[in-house]
Structure 1
C-alpha cells in the first residue's frame, strides 16, 4: 500500500526546514538515507560552478555537495511555496517543490534573487546494523522514511555571472534599458503612446 501524502511530506519538510535554517552539514546528513545510497544532482553546466552538473552519491558525496555550497555561496531569505502547493506522487514517492531565496557568491560579493525547484525522492532507510547473531537488521522490515534523491533546478546563469564578477554589469544594463524617458512616460500616461507619424501636424498631436 502506498504511503500517504502526509507521511511522504514529513522527511522532505524536515530537510527543507533544516537547510533554510542554516543547519550544520552533519545535521543535514541525518535526513538522508544510508541504504539505499542517497544522491544529489543540481542541473547545470559543470563549468558554471563546482557543484553543478555532477551527481554526488553516498553520505560522503552528499556532504561534499553541501561543503561546496557553503564554500561558494551564502543563502538568505529562503522560502518555499505553501505545502498544499507541493506536488506529491505517492506512487513514485517523490515531491516537487518551488522556492525562492537570495544568493551571494562569496568571493565576489555579487548577489541575486531567484526561484528554484526541488524534486525530492523519498525511500525507506535500512541502516546496516548487525544483531547478536551477526545478521543484518532492517531486512524485511519497514525502514524509516528519509530523503534518498535530491534534484535541484536553479538559475545557473546568474551563478556563473556572479562567480565571474559580471552579474552587476548585466543587472545595470538591464535596469538602464528598462528606463523610460520623461517624454515616453508622458505620452504613455496620456494614452497616445509612441506612434509612427505621431509628429505629423495633419493628424493632430499628442502634446
Structure 2
C-alpha cells in the first residue's frame, strides 16, 4: 500500500468512526428512558474531563441555569443534565436528527484544549449536527418547536466526545419557562 493510500485509509477510518459515534450519540436522545445521563456520559464521552457548553447569554441564568457556561468533568456534566431536566423537557421524534448523510464531519480539524490541570490535549475532528424537536418548560407546561445545533469536538483516539456544544433558541426557552413576570 502506498503512503498516500495508507493516509487515505486512516483518514477514512477516523471519518467513519466520528460519524458512527455521533450517530450513536444522537440516537441515545431518541430513547431517553433507556439512556439516562450517567449512561450517555459513560458510553459517549471521554473519561478525561468531558465538557458540555450550551451557549446563551449569562443573564438568562435566572431561568435557564444550564446556559452560558461550560460544565467540565463528569460531576459537572451530570449537573448540566440535572439543571436542564429540572427546567426543560426534550420531546424528540423520528426526524429530530438527520440520517447519516446529515452529519457533517471534519476529521482533520484539530482542537487544542487545556485541562483543569493545565495540561493540553489534542482532539482531532469536529462534527456538526442540526436537529429539531419540541421542548417543554417543566414549570409552566409551555412548549415550542425549534432547531438546534450540536458541535462535537475534542474526540479521543477512540472517537469518544471531549466537548459537546449546543446552540439553541434561548429566547423561546426564556419565555416558556417564565411565569408571566416582567423582567427589566
1:39 alignment partner in structure 2: 51
TM-score by length of 2: 0.75
Deviation at 1:46, TM superposition (A): 2.5
Count of residue pairs the alignment pairs up: 147
Q: Which residue of structure 2 aligns with residue 27 of structure 1?
A: 39
Q: Which structure is higher in strand share?
A: 2
Q: Shift of residue 89 of structure 1?
A: 0.3
RMSD: 1.5
2:149 matches 1:117? yes
SS, match of residue 163 in structure 2: strand
Moved over 4 A (4+): none
Matches within 5 A, 1:1-207: 1-2=10-11, 3-22=13-32, 23-30=35-42, 31-35=44-48, 37-48=49-60, 49-78=64-93, 79-92=96-109, 93-124=125-156, 143-165=157-179
Displacement after TM superposition at 1:110 (Å): 0.6
Unaligned runs of 5+ in 2: 1-9, 110-124
Distance (whole Å) between structure 2 residues aligned to residue 88 and residue 145 of structure 1: 12
Moved more, 75-84 or 62-71: 75-84
Q: How far apart are 1:82 and its partner, in Å?
A: 2.3
* Partner Cα distance (2:92, 2:71) in 1: 26
Distance 1:86 1:24 in 2: 23
* Aligned-partner Cα distance in 2 for 1:144–1:4: 9
TM-score for both structures, normalised by structure 1:
0.67
CA distance in 1, matches of 2:70, 2:79: 11
Distance (whole Å) between structure 1 residues aligned to residue 92 and residue 25 of structure 2: 17
